[in-house]
């Protein structure tokens, strides 16, 4: 490998990480993509796939999209689950191998119930303090996709109350998440 090959790999990995938008990248220089031959590009793309696999195996998901669906069935890839509930909750999400992703633009309940668990309250407050959830036109809205450890955690934060995510998240046809998971 020569300097152009290394610059190509650096530029492509930077591009992938920016596109995935999973972590904040602190890089003062934006790497430029050098011109290399098509056979060299193909070989470097193979290196990049190996790097992605190794980094992912080590537990760093910097190059992996939050929206990777559960299972390999192509029909599952676009299945969005919905919650519409009291107090303004209107959210969309997808089930993934890592947990449950609430999608950007989802609205959460304006208020919480008295029995809302303290651990979910801390998480909800942290999301608001970190700017992941903001007040926009008198509504609390997700500014980006957010990965929750479970569908129940996502449902609880969205609805402002204790919730069983397997029963609360539904497809447009009315099937609940639990039924979809059993089918798969």
**Do the domain assignments include residue 20?**
yes
Verify that 100 and 178 share a domain, yes or no. Answer: yes
Element spanning 155, H or E: helix 151-159
Verify that 53 and 83 share a domain, yes or no. Answer: no
Number of domains in the chain: 2
Q: Is the pLDDT of residue 134 over 60?
A: yes
Q: What is the DSSP letter of 181?
A: H
Entry pTM: 0.70
**Do the domain assignments include residue 82?**
yes
**Do the domain assignments include residue 65?**
no
Please, are residues 140 and 107 in contact by the beta-carbon 8 Å criterion?
yes
* Tens of pLDDT, residues 73-114: 444 455 899 998 878 899 999 998 888 999 999 999 988 999
List, as one string, the DSSP characters of 31-93.
-------HHHHHHHHHHHHHHHHHHHHTT--TTS-TTPBSSS-GGGGG--EEEE-GGG-EEEE
Q: Which domain holds residue 127?
A: 74-183
């Amino acid at each position: 490998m020569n300097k152009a090959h290394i610059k190509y790999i650096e530029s492509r990995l930077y591009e992938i990480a920016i596109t995935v938008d999973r972590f904040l990248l602190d890089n003062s220089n934006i790497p430029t993509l050098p011109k290399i031959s098509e056979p060299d590009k193909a070989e470097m793309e193979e290196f990049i796939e190996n790097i992605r696999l190794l980094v992912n195996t080590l537990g760093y998901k910097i190059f992996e999209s939050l929206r990777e669906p559960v299972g390999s069935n192509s029909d599952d890839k676009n299945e969005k689950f919905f919650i519409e509930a009291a107090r303004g909750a209107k959210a969309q999400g997808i089930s993934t191998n890592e947990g449950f992703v609430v999608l950007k633009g989802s609205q959460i309940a304006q208020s919480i119930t008295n029995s809302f668990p303290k651990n979910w309250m801390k998480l909800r407050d942290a999301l608001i303090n970190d700017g992941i959830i903001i007040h926009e036109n008198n509504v609390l809205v997700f500014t980006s996709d957010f990965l929750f450890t479970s569908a129940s955690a996502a449902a609880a934060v969205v609805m402002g109350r204790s919730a069983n995510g397997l029963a609360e998240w539904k497809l447009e046809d009315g099937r609940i998440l639990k039924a979809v998971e059993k089918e798969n």
